[in-house]
Structure 1
């Protein structure tokens, strides 16, 4: 009886947490399909339903809503950051896992210490450095910053590479393969799950970032904004009563691509996380 009561209590707590977590998401979805543009706090579900908010977001840009332009900006930054960051992380992980050289242990320890330094404390310094070379209000500057320190996050990928038998690399070297050939033709094909994990992780950072993007893209030109900045601008007190439902529609649309990506690559993503945690 005591065990059954414990199970019931756990399920009640989990159900309560699920409701708390899902309620704001449900409200965002139903508000996006509302016929009322502002915040309707008198009814949870809208009295009238409409897809006008999605039509305005996608097909009727104005001085406030330029969603398609923001989406393109965000996609360009995220894709290039994803490619560059993944290459950096794979290269550093291979060097730390599969190669032996003087100072390797010290470099690993130093890299881990640097990786634990709070990123927000660096933002002001990074901003003034980029300003001095003319890369503020630039998508290129954001890509550089997002990608520059990505190699420090090598630990999980390295842990996965540690599980690959050393005999495979030795056989490749006996056949005359260089380190680059060994990485591309031997190690990478065995690292598909962790590569998928790294791609998704690298893509998500610029896709949903607001703080650094807001700091960098501060010229006031909405055509340069990312989706996060553009949606945040709709919550201004002078605009919220006309654009809150549009904000909800935009927030719903921006979540669809990454949700599809997660569903399609869920198996590889989970294998990458668990596999990379086997060894440090």
Structure 2
């Protein structure tokens, strides 16, 4: 009986692994095809059909064309500035907010925390007109400020950091208070050094979200000199369609390289932060 149950369990595990493997292939296949087309010199003339995962004529010609176009460097710089500013603002606000909701004692804390969580249910499309009107009124349209400043509202980050700080004993804060440390000194010298895993997780999530942001920058950035990578890729695709598919896919591949680098460098901290923040299933 026990041997039969063990056999059934192994069969079930094999079925699950096969299913997950198939799902992984379905997710990875479009990315592999994109990279394949980017290295196919003939893709600028005709898109390979049916889709092929191996270039018919392997070449870096498409990437040479991309680098010859100086706009890509400007777009990378713009995306870097916007993403850096947004990530710093988001992560800092999330860490401070999460600490306040976790260790702070103030009236209306639970209600205010619910309001912060409720912001996650409001899509950017519902905020476009109010935000646009506000930044238009103060004369900041067609600058990077309208893209960076709204990122301070980061409900998910506040929730994750609160869950993380909840697992750290309050005795550390009490000991620091006895020694005469202020609240800010307690956060920066006691709790912040312990928040490495959750900080890395927020960096990954924030970087990916801001680097790939498209709708809001499309609304507020009108100058070609201010285009970020997603806007530049969209304008290039709109201008050329499938006529330069190889070059378009080379641009798309280059646009995800920074995300892959950041994720590979920091992804191991996600497991630590989830384990320490009590978010296990």
For 2:184, the equivalent position in structure 1 comes to 180
1:124 paired with 2:129, answer yes
Change (3 A) 1:176 1:151: farther
Runs of 4+ displaced beyond 4 Å: 1-5
For 1:12, the equivalent position in structure 2 comes to 18
Change (3 A) 1:203 1:222: same
CA RMSD of aligned residues (A): 2.1
Question: Partners of 1:11 and 1:71 in 2: how far apart?
Answer: 39
1:23 paired with 2:29, answer yes
Contiguous gaps of at least 5 residues in structure 2: 1-6
Q: How many residues align?
A: 271
> Do the aligned residues in 2 keep the contact of 1:57 with 1:68 (CA within 8 Å)?
no
Deviation at 1:258, TM superposition (A): 1.9
More off after superposition, 264-273 vs 178-187: 264-273
Per the normalisation by structure 2, the TM-score is 0.88
- The aligned runs of 1:28-107 (5 Å cut-off) are 28-36=34-42, 37-38=44-45, 39-41=47-49, 44=52, 45-58=54-67, 60-61=68-69, 66-107=71-112
Deviation at 1:172, TM superposition (A): 0.8
- What do residues 36-58 of structure 1 show as CA deviations (whole Å, max 9, x unaligned)? 21423256133212111112222
Contiguous gaps of at least 5 residues in structure 1: none
Per the normalisation by structure 1, the TM-score is 0.89
Question: Partners of 2:123 and 2:57 in 1: how far apart?
Answer: 46
Deviation at 1:85, TM superposition (A): 1.2
- What do residues 174-205 of structure 1 show as CA deviations (whole Å, max 9, x unaligned)? 11111111001100111110111112222222
Match of 1:154, SS state, is helix
1:133 paired with 2:138, answer yes
